[in-house]
Every structure is written in structure tokens, then in C-alpha cells.
Amino acid sequence: MTGEAGPDDSVHAQLRSTDRVKALSDGVFAIVLTILVLELKVPPHLPHKSLLEALRELRPTLIAWVISFLISGMYWVAHRDIFARVRWVNRDLVWLNLLFLLPCALIPFASSILGEYPDDPRSVQIYGVVVILGSLMRLALYAYVARHPALLWPGALGAKVTLGYLLVLLPVVAYLIAMAVAQVSPTAGAIIFLIVPGTYFLAVTIARDSSAPTAEVEEFS
């Protein structure tokens, strides 16, 4: 009987399409982004003179929403970049993906703390722990697929994997700095969180536009 083209028959039974993994992940990120905006609530039936005061009180929550929306978007793009290379998933990769989604799903909770307690260094540090866990699990996903080329599309991974690792770790350094700075100024720590996505995408753009782009850089966006 003629077998289906794909991985070696000895391991084919253990491999599955990426469709359900990507669908679940996209659904989680869609829910995370939706929950984030639900935190933005202006009290109803406000007298006209109290509206500006209410908006000022809402400002920390709005800032936390912008930070969390951009970081969640950065993680979604990172997930898309990784799974653009992946042709097959095995049980290990499925579980690593779930563990990556775990801290990502906690971002709305961390965002609510950051918005409710903007002047408390611990709120910035709790937020930092959540996003660092997300970055480390993203690193674990990237490292796993880099070490298992049989799961990837042919030619999906270039020779300079180290550059890919550095791009993944760049936000972690910034998050650690933000947590340390928050001890002196929680506002400054939050600002660092805010500029991380822009800095990350700028670093990727510079690397992509360099004279010798690699497959890793081309897959990051």
C-alpha cells in the first residue's frame, strides 16, 4: 500500500498537522485581546464636570491596556513566526505550546493589577514576571523546533540560529530592567514595558535590512 508523503513512516503516526494547534493559539490570543479592552470602563451617568476627573482616573488602566495590547500582539506575531516554519507537531511541541499560552492568558490579570495599582512597584514586578515567563516559553518553543528539523518545512531554518535566540531574549533583558527601575519609579518601569514592542520590532527590522540577512531574521516580524 502506498503511504502518504511526509515524515518517516516510523514516526509519522506520532505527528499531526499544525492546524488545530494554530487555531487554539489564535483563539486564545483573540480572547486575551478582547478581555483586555473590557477593563476600560467609564462610570455611567456622570455629571458633566466629573467626566474629566473620571478620565484622569482611567488613565493608568488605559496605559496598562496599551502596554498589554502591544505585548500580546508581539507574542502573537512571535507565535506566527515560529509556526510558519513548522509542518508537523508532536506531543512535546503541543505541550510546549500550551505552556507558552499559559502566561499569555495571564496578561489581562497582570494588566488589571498594573492599572489598579500604578504607583506600587509590586504591580510592575508582577507584570514583569508574567511577561518574562511568556518570553521564556517562547524561547523554549523556538529552541525545540530548532533542534527538531524533522518537524519543519524544508529549508525553514537557516544556519545562524544564535541570532534567533538573541532576538527572543532581547525583551527579557528589558523586562528585568523595568522590574528593577520600578523600585525607584513604577511609572518609569511601566514606560519601559511600553517601549519594548517598538524596540523589538526596530531590532528585527535592522537585522533584516543588514547586508547578510538569515532565515531566522526573515521569519521574525
pLDDT of residue 4: 46
pLDDT of residue 119: 94
**Position 47 pLDDT exceeds 50:** yes
Name the DSSP letter for residue 5.
Answer: S
% of the chain surpassing 90 pLDDT: 59
185: phi then psi, degrees, rounded to nearest 5:
-145, 105
pLDDT of residue 206: 77
**Position 5 pLDDT exceeds 80:** no
Which runs of consecutive H residues, i.e. helices, occur in the chain?
9-12, 19-38, 51-83, 91-105, 107-116, 121-147, 161-181, 186-208, 215-219
Q: For 127-180, how does the pLDDT look when each residue is reduced to its tens digit (9 = 90+)?
A: 999 999 999 999 999 999 989 989 998 876 665 677 778 888 889 999 999 999
Cα(144)–Cα(153) distance, integer angstroms: 15
pLDDT of residue 2: 46
Domain map (residue ranges) of the chain: 12-39+48-219
Cα(111)–Cα(105) distance, integer angstroms: 11
**Position 99 pLDDT exceeds 60:** yes
**Position 45 pLDDT exceeds 90:** no
Of 209 and 211, which is predicted with more confidence? 209
Prediction pTM value: 0.84
pLDDT of residue 1: 42
